[in-house]
Amino acid sequence: MKLITNDETISRSELETMAGKMFGGLVKGVVDVSRGIMAVDAELHADEESFLLKSGSSQDDLWGINLYPDETSEDFIEFDSMINVRPRQGNMSRGVEDADLRSTIIGIVNDLVV
């Protein structure tokens, strides 16, 4: 697992290497929208979520995504994770239903992936 911060970005080629180890050519990631960081390269979003919680993140700020490094369009980021199902936060699906929140996550990912 790898923690990505503004001090330590990740390249698409690194993501491609990670994706090569996973089924489907994707890299699972969890973004902390408050801290502007992301954990990647684990088999489960829940593992990345647990890692970030132990490093000081708040549950309400963590959102699961999938990255497809071979994609250059909006298909690069997929909002699909079981950790996103949060009825108490008004998110009833595996996606991220709030457009502003999706936009924030996209901005963080674009800052961290170079």
Domain span at residue 53 reads 2-112
Quote the CA–CA distance of 109 and 88 in Å, as a whole number: 25
Per-position b or e across 73-103, b if 16+ CB within 10 A of its CB: eeebbbbbbebbebeeeebeeebbeeeebbe
- Predicted pLDDT of residue 1: 87
* Torsion angle in degrees (nearest 10) through CA of 42, 20, 18, 34: -70
Number of folded domains in the chain?
1
Average pLDDT (41-56) is 96
CA dihedral (46, 8, 58, 106) positive or negative: negative
- Predicted pLDDT of residue 23: 75
R_g of the chain, CA atoms, integer Å: 13
- pLDDT tens digit sequence for 5-36: 989 999 999 999 999 988 779 999 999 999 99
Closest CA relative to residue 62, chosen from 108, 99, 16: 108
